[in-house]
């Protein structure tokens, strides 16, 4: 009997968020989707929404910075010999502070939730996909992955680490059939987080001024479908109105 085709998304938060949109897009293609994050309530809402549309979904409470949690997540996702098609790391912890107001706890937390979590996730994904000789690993990056700008210097350090990890993994595992992608989100995503925290900014951006969740999710899916003779390693996504 053929193995179930599975996708795994770590960093699933609000229903109107990128993690949820990715999970819904993958489920639409018939993949069994494991969604992971720290909030049981949020995971339950996302799982219910996916199931209501006929998708197969399993929520798992995970702290991306805890090695045992991440290892357990992947063990559960492939426990029945599933074919792990896609693994998306979507954790995006971000706080702003001028450098002299950035204490050790803040810097360490940002590094752990972005860089360390991405390392643990990427390592476990590669471990299983290496046996399969195929699969797609996608890391969600940010403008800060490419350039540091105060008051987000600590965040930029953490996101640059994710980019470096993705580059190293692409070179190491690409020849083994594993497609590793770093997706730079260069702009503000139109979701619950932005509308709750930056309502005036969202209004000022106007129509088509924000990245749409479904559009990003569609791009991730198309990256997965790419032929290995023409793989994309890094891609930047931004609204056409966004200066760069």
Which of 86, 176, 94, 184 shows the shortest CA–CA distance to 136? Answer: 86
Under the banding of pLDDT at 50, 70 and 90, the label for residue 93 is confident
What was the pLDDT predicted at 196? Answer: 64
Q: Is residue 242 one of the residues assigned to a domain?
A: no
Mean pLDDT of 196-216: 81
Q: Is residue 244 one of the residues assigned to a domain?
A: no
The structure tokens 């990890």 sit at 165
The set of residues, in sequence order, having a beta carbon less than 8 Å from that of 239 and lying 6+ positions away, is: 187, 205, 208, 209, 210, 211
DSSP one-letter code for 2: P
Note the pLDDT tens digit of each residue in 149-188: 999 999 999 999 999 999 999 999 999 999 999 999 999 9
CA distances to 64, 143, 178, 179 from 122, rounded to whole Å, are 11, 21, 11, 12
Looking at the structure of the chain, the number of domains it has is 1
Q: Is the dihedral of CA 157, 39, 220, 240 positive or negative?
A: negative
Q: Which two tokens stand for residue 166?
A: 């993705």
Note the pLDDT tens digit of each residue in 32-44: 999 999 999 999 9
Helix 153-173 with 104-111: angle, nearest 10 deg: 30
Under the banding of pLDDT at 50, 70 and 90, the label for residue 209 is confident
Percent of the chain with pLDDT over 90: 85
What was the pLDDT predicted at 197? Answer: 67
Neighbours of 95 (CB within 10 A): 13
Under the banding of pLDDT at 50, 70 and 90, the label for residue 92 is confident
Asked whether residue 194 carries a pLDDT value surpassing 90, the answer given is no
Under the banding of pLDDT at 50, 70 and 90, the label for residue 87 is very high
- The CATH number of whichever domain residue 208 belongs to comes to 3.40.50.720
Domain with 184 in it: 5-237
Alpha-carbon distance of 162 to 146, in angstroms, equals 11
Under the banding of pLDDT at 50, 70 and 90, the label for residue 1 is very low
């Amino acid at each position: 009997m053929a193995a179930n085709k599975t996708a795994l998304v770590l960093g699933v938060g609000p229903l109107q968020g990128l993690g949820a949109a990715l999970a819904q897009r993958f489920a639409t293609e018939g993949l069994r989707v494991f969604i992971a994050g720290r909030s049981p309530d949020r995971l339950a809402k996302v799982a219910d929404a996916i199931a209501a549309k006929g998708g197969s979904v399993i929520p798992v409470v995970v702290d991306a910075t805890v090695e045992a949690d991440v290892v357990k997540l992947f063990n559960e996702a492939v426990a029945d010999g599933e074919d792990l098609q896609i693994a998306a790391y979507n954790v995006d912890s971000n706080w702003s502070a001028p450098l002299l107001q950035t204490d050790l706890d803040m810097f360490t937390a940002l590094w752990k939730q972005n860089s360390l979590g991405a390392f643990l996730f990427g390592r476990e994904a590669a471990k299983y996909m290496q046996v399969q000789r195929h699969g797609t690993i996608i890391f969600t990056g940010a403008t800060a992955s490419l350039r540091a700008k105060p008051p987000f210097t600590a965040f930029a350090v953490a996101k640059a680490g994710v980019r470096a990890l993705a580059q190293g993994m692409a070179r190491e595992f690409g020849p083994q059939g594993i497609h590793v992608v770093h997706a730079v989100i260069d702009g503000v995503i139109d979701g619950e987080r932005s509308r709750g925290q930056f309502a005036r900014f969202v209004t000022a951006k106007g129509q088509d001024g924000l990245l749409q969740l479904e559009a990003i999710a569609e791009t991730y899916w198309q990256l997965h479908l790419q032929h290995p003779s023409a793989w994309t390693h890094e891609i930047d996504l931004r609204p056409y109105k966004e200066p760069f």
